[in-house]
Structure 1
Amino acid sequence: MSENDNLQDADGKKEVVSPETTPTQPIENDTSTVDNEVRKDQDSTLESVESKAESSDDVKDDTTEVAPETPAIKDKLVDEIEASNAEDAEDESNAERHEVEEKDYHAMSMAELTTEFGRLLGSHKIQTISKHVNEIKSEFNAKFSELLDEKKEEFIEDGGNEIDFYYTNDTKKQFNSYYKTYKQNINAYYKEREQNLKQNLDTRLAIIEEIKGLLSVEENMGTTYKTFKELQEKWRNAGPIPRDKYNNAWNTYHHHVERFYDFLHLNNDLRDMDFKHNYDQKIKIIERAEELAEDENTNRSFRELQVLHKLWKEELGPVSKEHREAIWERFSNATKLIHDKRQAYFADMDKAHEKNLERKEEIIAQIEAIAEDKANSHSGWQKKIKEIEALREAFFKAGKVPLKVNESTWAKFKAAVRTFNRSKNSFYKELKKDQYENLKKKKDLIQIAEDNKDSEDFATVTPLMKKIQNEWKKIGHVPRRDSDKIWKQFKTACNHYFDRMHAQRKAQDQHLYEAFDKKVKLLDDLKVMELTEDPKADIKTLQDKIAEWKAIGYVPQNKRYIDGKFYKAIDDKFDKLKMDKSKLEMIKFESKLENLADSDDTRLLDNEQNFIRKRISEIKSEINQLENNLQFFSNVKSDNPLVKDVHKNIANHKKELDTWKAKLSKVRGMYS
């Protein structure tokens, strides 16, 4: 492909024929003035190329796929760039649009998508976020559709009519509010922009007419050239125009610019200077394009390549004929390298998408497996629900899949989740049925409790109230919304009855509670009592305490634990007496026997007698064993330490045996 530069004849001179007039006569002019203007133009063009190349990261990222190379590949690639630049020419906010951060909307929840939507509306110009809004809307609608299906199934399974179903939530309402604001603002923006585009197009067409008019102006060439440069500057600042008018307007403009250059009939030096300037700037563009071909960031390099093509076409004029094909071929080759790398980048992206697809299919299979394995308990289903939620989260975070299978993958995922939800809802529907039956049973118990809560027949009603309390515990769960309410009713009725019963019994047993208070005081006094150095006097004091305790009498049944505390405190005091341990043991035992004798339960005395007999038998067995052991020391002297130790143990055991025999005798005496 060759550049559409001005055509020259064989000797390098330009010839221009206006479609409206015959060739004009050369105009005498001040070439030094024109020379200065050309030099200024060269400087400004150089600055323009460098400035726009540096800011190219802000240019639109056109992600059009690049087809495999064909003989016309260079033409096709350039056409793509020109089409993209035509689109950019319609929107002067293009650079700003690409400052909006790209995010993975697929991995966001509905609440996160709504929050991000609100952030975009508040942080960016409305015309820069269209792509992001469309992606957010698509993801939000897909997720809300899934939720809507779940709610609809639950509604129908609970007995609702499909025609009556309606569901929304606060997140959906907020999202709709944001979208309404977006539509109002974007419509207002496009309406205003349409007017501006039309006005800018009219301005550019007028500039073209003025350039055409310069061909018939007969005045000083310096003045004409200056007017021409002013018109070029006005063209650059005229603003965006409709994309469908872009290429035609630019081609018409360049056609008449070329005619003006030919009309000038500049001498060869000035023309060559102009050609050299354009050549130098285009070489810079080519070198930058070749640098971009080495850049690993393919999106960034393609964005800047678009800027370079725009500068090549819109800012720079022709070069000498001998260089035209060569520099365009070099520029085209650099363009092709960038496109080839970009094509490879998209191929790698496709591979990544394929891996994401594999991961998502694995997740779907796991969801299907969980859906097939039916749980039979609330805890089992709760565990499965957590597993499904984790898999759903993993699915959304797995990344994008190839576009051709995106919808089918999403549909397969929704079907797997829907199957699980149906099984879950079926279980909980049956569970609700059981819960309502349980609710009826518990309400029946509440009725019994309330019917008897004021009864005076405590002997008959108390067993009944205890029975219904046990039945309540055995009945399963009820609907959550009723649970606290019915428990409060049942508890209130039962507490009312038992509080009345206890109050009456407490009134009847008032003397027992008074006895309990006296015993509490006596026990506290015993704990702080100090022993003297006279064991007999201390024994007498302790025995008096025991007699005083007995004289107080009975305490309430549920307070009789205090007797055990008292006799434990008595034993502690006896243990501190300085007297023979065997005698002390018998004194403590006699005190214990008196406590047992006072008990209404005769089995306690029987148990004590059986325990003593067992202990006597054990001690006799131990003495026999020790005496048998002495036979092994028949040849050992009696003063041997081991022999002496055995004899000592036998003596201790016999002394202990005497004590237990005395205890047995005391117990037997209690029966008479």
Structure 2
Amino acid sequence: MSEENKASKIDNKPEETVENPQLKETKKTAESTPVSQDQEEVQENELTTESIDVIQNAKTDDSDDDDFIEEDTDEEDDADPADLDAALNEDSEDESTAERHSIPKKEYETLSKEDLIKELKNLLSNHKVQAIKEHVTEIRAAFIAKFEEEQEEAKEKFLEDGGNIIDFRYYSPLKKEFNSLYFEYRDKRNHYYQNLRKDLNANLETRNALIEELKELKNELGGEESINATFDKFKDIQDRWRNSGNIPRDRYNLVWNNYHHHIENFYDFLHLNREFRDKDFKENLDKKLKLIEQAEELAQESDVNRAFKELQMLHKIWKEEVGPVSREYREEIWEKFSAATHNIHESRQEYFKNIDKVYEQNLEEKEKVIAAIEKIAANPATSHNGWQKQMKEVNALRENFFKIGKVPRKANEPTWKSFKQATREFNHNKNGFYKNQKKEQYENLQKKMELVQIAEDNKDNEDVKVTIDLMKRIQSDWKKIGHVPRKDSDKVWKRFKKACNHFFDRLHAEKKEVLEEEKGNLEEKVALLDKVKTIELTGKHEDDLKTIKELIKEWKDTGRVPHSKKSIEQDFNKVLDGLFKKLDLTRKESELIKYDNRVAAMADEDNNQALNKERYFITKKIDEVKAEINQLENNLGFFQHVPDDNPMVKEVHKNIAEHKKTLEIWKAKLKKLKSLY
């Protein structure tokens, strides 16, 4: 079995219930006696005990292969599972388990070997070792898969080049680094479980001592101490019991039954003072009713796994933290609690049935992916472009294979082998094709050298516009040419890149100079704008008009400003509009004077694109105004019998006149524009 499949195996079956022999004996005794707290707790234990065998020792002397750390065997997994603390004690939902479920899992199969190592380092540095086994197992499986695929490709190439298989060696620094991290993980894991066993045994001793204290209390009830003081000691023992921690699971039921046996004895000795016992029974009843209410709410929880985990905690509280209740209520409240428990267990069973269906669907999807890769491998391409297309298709299929999800355990290894065989066959065909492509690669090299020569010959060309187009074209051609011999690839690329970068660096430097010049122009125009705002007209029309035209020429001669500051042109035109009004110029005259400035600016920039765009804009405006005039004149036809002094008719004539004036202005602008061509 491959490491990848061992690592990804899971057991989807819900854990079955097993019954401790001590509990069986207790139930036999209870059959001939009234229902007791012991019997109640035995019934409870039948519903909540998980099917994990008692494990007392974990392996610590793991051996590793020189080339790669061996996968943990099934026997070792049984002896040292990630949930060993659940197998060693009854509390399977401790902080470590909660943390395990809170650590997000990534799509490890899609990560590179470097990223997988990074993820493993992060887990070891930031999380408890007992909480990360599932993550480490999946990371390791993904790393091994990538390493073996890389090793297999290297082996094929070695053999194709005439090498002898007995001489093949493959070394990867990343593999050594990963092995070192995995050793560190296993050392930490073993150390954790060794300490855990020590703590469990110490807690066992504490609980046994508490039972001995409990035994002595009945002697104190008949002594000189008051019943209040004795009852306080009893409560203190219960508190310390609840806080005494987990113990080895194989001793749990025996110790717990012993403890509750003496609890019952103590209550029997209290029968002379029912006040204390009844008060305690009432408090316990209230607590257990709340637990029943919480269990019934959990039965409605959509997340069945979360509900099951929280149910285990409720059972622990029921057993460990809440004492017995009055006999008249015991059977009734236990039946309610059992009913809620039963519903959650049924939901969990149904969940796992559905999971199995999902895994079967995943298997079907993965088989389709494998069939698609096999089909591509059976029809190899005959050209470089064809192979590039097939490589993209296979890579997409591979990514899809890893994203699909888990399959049934029995199908895991066969599916993985079929997938590897299909991809290996494709890679073999691909490598065989490119082995015969040396002639084509040398032709590609010659083509690229020609492009290098073009780039070097034009890197100092002063015709910027032409050279920009040329550089873009040869860069595009470069991408289309294809592979060149590996030994020449870097060298020819560096020459080409250097020539292209030289041109564009020079272009950027020139643009920077232009930008600085435009900033200077902006400062001059700001000062000129302030000057125009404060100008005083003499009242002589010709002289004032001449002054304004000189200001417009000075503005135009100042040059371009940064594109982000183009709005200063509008500010200047607004000031001119105010001056034109003072001169009493016609609308057409003022518009054409301002337009002279705009047209001159476009001509100075030698921007044919801008001129063509302006010409198209004006032509469109002329057509729009003509259409408006025609529409208005047509509308007059509906008013043939209406007097000309009618307000509506007068308004239409007024609009026609305004549109004709506007038309004359647009035509005059078009005439000025045409004079530049």
Deviations 1:325-362 (CA, angstroms, capped at 9, x unpaired): 22222211111111111222222222222222222111
CA deviation after TM superposition for structure 1 residue 379, in Å: 3.2
1:369 corresponds in structure 2 to: 375
C-alpha contact 2:214 2:262 (8 A) present in aligned 1: yes
Contact 1:74 1:336 in 2 (8 A): no
The CA distance in 2 between the partners of 1:430 and 1:354, in whole Å, is 43
How far 1:482 sits from its partner (Å)?
5.2
Distance (Å, rounded) in 2 between the aligned partners of 1:89 and 1:147? 40
What's 2:426 paired with?
420
My pick for the range that moved more, 292-301 or 182-191, is 182-191
Matching residue of 1:383: 389
Q: Find out whether 1:399 has 2:405 as its counterpart.
A: yes
Indicate whether 1:336 and 2:342 are aligned.
yes
Separation in structure 2 between the aligned mates of residue 73 and residue 12 of structure 1, nearest angstrom: 14
C-alpha contact (below 8 Å) 2:373/2:422 kept by paired residues: yes
Q: Give how far 1:293 is off.
A: 0.7
Identical amino acids, percent of aligned pairs:
52
Residue 245 of structure 2 is aligned with which of 239, 243, 247? Answer: 239
Contact in 1 for aligned 2:48/2:312 (Cα 8 Å): no
SS in structure 2 opposite 1:215?
helix
- 1:621-632 matches, within 5 Å, as none
Equivalence for 2:331: 325
- Of 283, 286, 291, the residue aligned with 2:297 is 291
In the alignment, the residues of structure 2 paired with residue 362 and residue 13 of structure 1 have an alpha-carbon distance, to the nearest angstrom, of 60
Q: How far 1:290 sits from its partner (Å)?
A: 0.9
Measure the CA separation in 1 of the matches of 2:340 and 2:305: 15
- Aligned residue for 1:283, secondary structure, equals helix
Query: Residue 573 of structure 2 corresponds to which residue in structure 1?
Result: none
Q: Give deviations 1:106-150, integer Å, cap 9, x for gaps.
A: 454434332222221222122222232223222322332233222
1:437-463 deviations in whole A, cap 9, x for unaligned? Answer: x79xx9xxxxxxxxxxxxxxxxxxxxx
* Corresponding residue number in structure 1 for 2:50: 80
TM-score calculated relative to the size of structure 1: 0.52
Q: In the alignment, which of 217, 226, 232 is matched to residue 226 of structure 1?
A: 232
1:314 and 2:320 are equivalent in the alignment = yes
Letter in 2 for 1:78: T
> What amino acid maps onto 2:429 in structure 1?
S
Aligned to 1:163: 166
DSSP-derived class of the 1:216 partner:
helix
Cα distance in 1 for partners of 2:397, 2:52 equals 45
Asked whether the equivalents of residues 93 and 313 of structure 2 are also in contact (C-alpha less than 8 Å), the reply is no
User: Quick one: structure 1 residues 487 and 109, their matched pair in 2 at CA, closer, same or farther if it must change by over 3 Å?
Assistant: closer
1:187 to 1:169, Cα distance in 2 relative to 1, 3 A? same
The 3-state SS of whatever aligns with 2:181 is helix
Per-residue deviation, 1:479: 3.8
Asked if 1:186 corresponds to 2:189, the answer is: yes
Query: 2:308–2:345: 8 Å Cα contact kept in structure 1?
Result: yes
Unaligned runs of 5+ in 1: 17-71, 443-475, 489-672
Q: What does residue range 246-265 of structure 1 map to in structure 2 within 5 Å?
A: 246-265=252-271
Q: 1:144 to 1:263 in 2, by over 3 A?
A: farther
Distance 1:308 1:290, change over 3 A: same
| Contact kept in structure 2, 1:117 and 1:136, CA below 8 Å | yes
Asked which structure has the greater CA Rg, the reply is 1
What's the CA shift string for 1:210-246, capped at 9, x where partnerless? 2223333434132222222222222222223222222
Aligned-residue offset at 1:292: 0.8
Please tell me whether the aligned partners of residues 81 and 309 of structure 1 are also in contact (alpha carbons under 8 angstroms): no
- Contact in 2 for aligned 1:90/1:241 (Cα 8 Å): no
| 1:157 partner letter | E
What's the CA shift for 1:75?
A: 7.2
Are positions 1:132 and 2:135 aligned together?
yes
User: Which has the higher mean CA deviation after the structures are superposed, 74-83 or 219-228?
Assistant: 74-83
For residue 409 of structure 1, report the CA deviation from its aligned partner: 1.3
- Counterpart AA for 2:218: L
Deviation at 1:486? Answer: 11
- Matched AA of 1:169: S
Query: Which amino acid in structure 1 is aligned with residue 202 of structure 2?
Result: Q
SS of corresponding position for 1:185: helix
**C-alpha spacing 1:144/1:255, structure 2 compared with 1 (3 Å):** farther
Residue 120 (structure 2) aligns with: 117
Q: 1:238 to 1:379 in 2, by over 3 A?
A: same
Pair 1:271-2:270 in alignment: no
Q: Distance in 2 between matches of 1:13 and 1:368?
A: 67
Asked if the contact 1:283–1:327 (Cα under 8 Å) also holds between the matched residues in 2, the reply is: yes
- Do 1:207 and 1:235's aligned partners in 2 also have CA atoms closer than 8 Å? yes
Which consecutive unaligned segments of at least 5 residues does structure 2 have?
1-18, 54-85, 447-481, 495-677
Distance 2:493 2:362 in 1: 52
Residue in 2 aligned with 1:196? 199
- What pairs with 1:43-82 in structure 2 (closer than 5 Å)? 77-80=47-50
* TM-superposition CA deviations, 1:31-86 (whole Å, max 9, x none): xxxxxxxxxxxxxxxxxxxxxxxxxxxxxxxxxxxxxxxxx999754333998694
Give the total of aligned pairs: 398
In structure 2, which of residues 103, 109, 118 is the aligned counterpart of residue 100 of structure 1?
A: 103
Displacement after TM superposition at 1:393 (Å): 0.9
Aligned 1:424-463 pairs, distance under 5 A: 424-431=430-437
Looking at structure 1, the residues matched to 141 and 250 of structure 2 have their Cα atoms a distance apart, in angstroms, of 29
Cα separation, 2, equivalents of 1:160 and 1:400: 38
Deviations 1:186-220 (A, max 9, x none): 23322332322222222222222222233334341
Q: Evaluate the alpha carbon distance shift between residue 90 and residue 362 of structure 1 in structure 2; reply closer, same or farther with a 3 A threshold.
A: closer
Structure 1 pair 320/409, CA: closer, same or farther in 2 (3 Å)? same
Q: 2: distance between equivalents of 1:429 and 1:15? A: 80
Residue 287 to residue 478, structure 1, CA distance change in 2 (3 Å): closer
Which residue does 1:304 correspond to in 2? 310
Matched to 2:48, the amino acid is V
Compute the displacement of 1:152 (Å): 2.1
- Tell me the distance in 2 between the aligned counterparts of 1:101 and 1:271: 49
Q: What CA RMSD, in Å, does the superposition of the two structures yield over aligned residues?
A: 4.1
Contact 2:90 2:247 in 1 (8 A): no
Q: Choose between structure 1 and 2 for higher RCO, CA contacts under 8 A separated by at least 6 residues.
A: 1
Distance 1:337 1:15 in 2: 23
Deviation at 1:302, TM superposition (A): 0.9
- Counterpart position of 2:587: none
Match of 2:214 among 211, 216, 221: 211
Distance verdict in 2 for CA 1:402–1:167, change over 3 Å = same
* Distance in 1, Cα, partners of 2:108 & 2:90: 26
Q: Which amino acid aligns with 2:198?
A: Q
- Please give the secondary structure, in 2, of the residue aligned with 1:98: helix
How far apart are 1:306 and its partner, in Å?
0.6
Residues 1:250 and 1:165: Cα distance change in structure 2 (over 3 Å): farther
Q: Which segment is superposed worse, 191-200 or 478-487?
A: 478-487
Kindly state the Cα deviation for residue 258 of structure 1 after the two structures are TM-superposed: 2.0
Q: Which moved more, 1:295-304 or 1:418-427?
A: 418-427
What aligned pairs does 1:645-660 form with structure 2 within 5 A after superposition? none
